[in-house]
């Protein structure tokens, strides 16, 4: 998910916006479809989960070589802090992701004959929800960073499978993405989140990402590499 430098910034920004739009359209659209087909809560969640995990595998595979396929401000910021992405590019990535996410909500609504945007009334708040989002985003960043370190070609599958699982083991159903959270504030359907609930979710997501970056930076550095760096640093 690191940036391939042969693609210029405009192409990378379009890839980030397009990927985030398609991801959100999948999340929101599958939620609308699920609720139109069943009133069973567990089945509706399953119908929302599987398309999301599948779309992540596809989108990361096809857009990763262009932009790194972050689709997530927490991921972009973490990779900037680990010096894989410049600060100026990170700012533009985040703006592209936010714009793409809102466009994705509009796409989903229009496909199902709804108004393009509608503020959500679905409250998601409380310590358990916030903790869940921190755990979900921590796990996502840990998967990405470890995947980049050990099995780069498998990152798309690792992320898709992790998010599929996290939908079910977290109380928040694993948003794990500030851009997706913002986009979901503009849908009053199954996958929505009220604007009032956003600050707690977003703060928890960035906190989880930061903790994962600190821990994984230490965990993924072998002792031999640390010793070599120390030797090279001596005058």
The series of mean pLDDT values per 10 residues for the chain, 235 residues long, is 72 98 98 96 97 98 97 98 96 98 98 98 96 98 97 97 98 97 98 97 98 97 63 57
Q: Identify whether the C-beta of residue 62 lies closer than 8 Å to the C-beta of residue 84.
A: no
Residue 157 burial (CB count, 10 A): 16
> Residue 155: CB partners within 8 Å, gap ≥ 6?
1, 60, 64, 144, 147, 148
Q: Identify whether the C-beta of residue 69 lies closer than 8 Å to the C-beta of residue 148.
A: no
Determine the pLDDT at residue 222. 82
Determine the pLDDT at residue 189. 97
Determine the pLDDT at residue 223. 67
Determine the pLDDT at residue 4. 43
Determine the pLDDT at residue 231. 52
Q: pTM of the predicted model, to two decimals?
A: 0.91
Determine the pLDDT at residue 234. 60
Among 31, 189, 27, CA closest to 120? 189
Residue 126 burial (CB count, 10 A): 13
d(CA 75, CA 140): 9
Determine the pLDDT at residue 6. 86
d(CA 52, CA 211): 25
Torsion sign (Cα): 116, 118, 123, 127: positive
Alpha-helix residue ranges (DSSP H) falling in the chain? 9-37, 41-67, 73-81, 87-111, 127-150, 155-169, 178-184, 198-219, 223-233
């Amino acid at each position: 998910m690191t940036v391939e430098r042969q693609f210029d910034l405009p192409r990378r920004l379009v890839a980030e916006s397009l990927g985030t739009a398609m991801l959100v359209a999948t999340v929101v659209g599958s939620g609308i479809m699920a609720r139109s087909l069943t009133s069973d809560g567990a089945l509706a969640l399953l119908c929302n989960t599987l398309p999301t995990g599948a779309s992540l595998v596809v989108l990361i595979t096809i857009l990763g070589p262009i932009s790194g396929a972050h689709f997530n401000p927490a991921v972009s910021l973490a990779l900037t802090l680990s010096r894989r992405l410049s600060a100026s590019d990170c700012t533009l990535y985040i703006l592209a992701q936010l714009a793409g996410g809102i466009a994705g909500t509009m796409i989903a609504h229009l496909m199902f004959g709804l108004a393009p945007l509608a503020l959500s009334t679905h409250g998601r708040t409380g310590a358990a929800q916030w903790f869940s989002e921190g755990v979900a985003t921590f796990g996502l960043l840990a998967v990405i960073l470890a995947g980049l370190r050990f099995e780069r070609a498998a990152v798309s599958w690792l992320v898709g499978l992790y998010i599929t699982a996290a939908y079910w083991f977290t109380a928040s159903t694993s948003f794990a993405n500030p851009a997706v959270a913002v986009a979901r504030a503009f849908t009053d359907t199954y996958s929505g989140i009220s604007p009032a609930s956003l600050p707690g979710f977003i703060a928890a997501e960035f906190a989880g990402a930061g903790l994962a970056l600190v821990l994984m930076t230490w965990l993924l550095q072998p002792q031999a590499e640390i010793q070599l760096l120390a030797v090279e640093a001596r005058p």
